[in-house]
Chain A
Amino acid sequence: MRQLWVLVLCLLWGAPAVMAENLIPSMLQSYQTEGAGHFSASAGEKLWKQEHEAPEGAESPKPRNCQTCHGVDLSKPGEHVRTGKVIDPMALSVNPQRFSDVKKIKKWFRRNCKWVLGRVCTAQEKGDILTYLQQQ
C-alpha cells in the first residue's frame, strides 16, 4: 500500500513538468498542405533580417525587421521596441518552451508579419522562417 502511495505521489509530482514539444515539424507539414513547397533556412534568414519601411504615422520612422524586437542574437532575450518589455529568446537551444503552442505561433505570426511587412505572411514564408529558427 505504501509503495502505491509513493507511486501516486511521484506521478502527481511529475505531471506538470512534462517537456515542451517542439511543434515546428508539424507546423511545416500543415503549411505544405496549404500549398507551400520546399522550405529553406537561408530564405527564412533573409526574411528575418530584411528591413521594411515603417508605415506612415508610425511612432518611429526607422526601418523595421524581426530583429527590431527579437534582437540580433537569438539566444538572448529581445526587447519590445515600443514598451521595452523583455521577450524571451527565440532560440530553442536556450528556450525549449518556444514553438510548443500552436495558438501562440499563429497569433504571433499574424501580428508580427503585419507589423514588419504590413501584411500577413504566406505559408511558404512562415515555413521558411520556422526552418531558420529551428536551427538556432
Chain B
Amino acid sequence: MIRFLIMFTAFFAAQTAFATDNFFGIPRFKGVKPVFNSNYESSCAECHFGYFPGLLPARSWKKLMQPEALADHFGEDAELDESDRHEILNFLVNNAADRSHYKRSVKIARSLRDGATPLRITEVPYIKKKHSEIPIKMIKGNKKVRSLSNCARCHTEAKEKGVFDDDTVFIPGYGRDWD
C-alpha cells in the first residue's frame, strides 16, 4: 500500500512538473509558450502563420495592434472591430516575450535590451542571428518557403507545440540535412 501511495504521488508530481512552465519556481520550458486564442486564429492566422505572442515583446504587439497600424498591416488591410481588437491585443500582450519564462522568448526579449520595438519578428536580433547562416536559396529563393516569416514551413513542431529546435527543422526541398 505504501508503495502504491508513493507511486501515486510521484505520478502526480511528475504530471504537474510537465504540465506547468516551471518546476518549483525554475523556468523549464524550452520553446515559445504554445498559447491559442480562437479569435486570434480567425482574425490573424487565416492570412499568415499564427505567430505566438512570445515571439515579440508587449510593446511591439501594442504598436502593431493600433487601429491605424492594422489598416495598413505591411500593405494589407487587417482592420478589426474594437471588441476583437481588444481581445486579441490582451492575448498577445499577456503572453508576450518580455512576460514569458520560455527559453526562446527570454532570448528574444534579451536581444532587444536596448528597448527597440520591432514590428517584424524577422527583425528581432535573436531571430536574425539564428537564421543568418542559412543560404538564401533555402528560404527566400525556395518556392515552398518564400520567406523567413513562414515559420511553420520548416519548423515542423512550431504550430502545435511552439518548439523551434534545430532537430525539428525540415526545409522543403532540402530535408533535415540543411546544415
Q: Does B47 touch A at the CB level, under 8 Å? A: yes
Interface size for A (C-beta < 8 A) is: 15
Partner of B48, one of A83, A104, A111, A114: A83
User: A80 at interface (Cβ–Cβ under 8 A)?
Assistant: yes
Instruction: Contacts A104-B42, A107-B43 given; indicate if A85 touches B48 (C-beta within 8 A).
Output: yes
Q: Are A82 and B76 in contact (CB under 8 A)?
A: yes
Quick check: is B94 within 8 A (CB to CB) of the other chain?
no
CA A82 to CA B74, docked complex, whole Å: 10
Q: How many residues of B contact A (CB 8 A)?
A: 17
Closest to B78 in A: A111
> B47–A85 contact, CB under 8 A?
yes
Question: Is the CB of B166 closer than 8 A to any CB of chain A?
Answer: no
Picked from A84, A104, A107, the residue with its CB within 8 Å of the CB of B146 is A84
In the assembled complex, which residues on chain A have CB atoms less than 8 Å from the CB atom of B146? 84
Evaluate contact between A110 and B79: CB separation under 8 angstroms: yes
> Which residues between 51 and 69 of chain A lie within 8 Å of chain B, taking CB atoms?
57-59
CA distance A80 to B76 in the complex (A): 11
Q: Would A85 and B76 count as touching, CB distance under 8 A?
A: no
Contacting residues, chain B, for A115 (C-beta < 8 A): 76-77
CB contacts under 8 Å to A, within B35-51, are 42-43, 46-49
Is B75 in the interface zone, CB < 8 Å from A? yes
What's the Cα separation between A115 and B76 when bound, in Å?
Answer: 7
Q: B117 contacts the other chain (Cβ, under 8 Å)?
A: no
By a beta-carbon cutoff of 8 Å, the part of chain B in contact with chain A is 42-43, 46-49, 75-81, 146-147, 149-150
A contact residues vs B (CB 8 Å cutoff)? 57-59, 80, 82-85, 87, 104, 107, 110-111, 114-115
23 contacts between A and B (CB under 8 A): A57-B75, A59-B75, A80-B47, A80-B48, A82-B47, A82-B75, A82-B76, A83-B47, A83-B49, A83-B147, A83-B150, A85-B46, A85-B49, A87-B46, A104-B42, A107-B43, A107-B80, A110-B79, A111-B77, A111-B78, A111-B79, A114-B77, A115-B76
Beyond the given A80-B47, A107-B80, please list 17 additional residue pairs across the A-B interface where CB-CB is below 8 A.
Answer: A57-B75, A59-B75, A80-B48, A82-B47, A82-B76, A83-B47, A83-B48, A83-B49, A83-B149, A85-B47, A85-B48, A87-B46, A107-B43, A110-B77, A111-B78, A114-B77, A115-B77
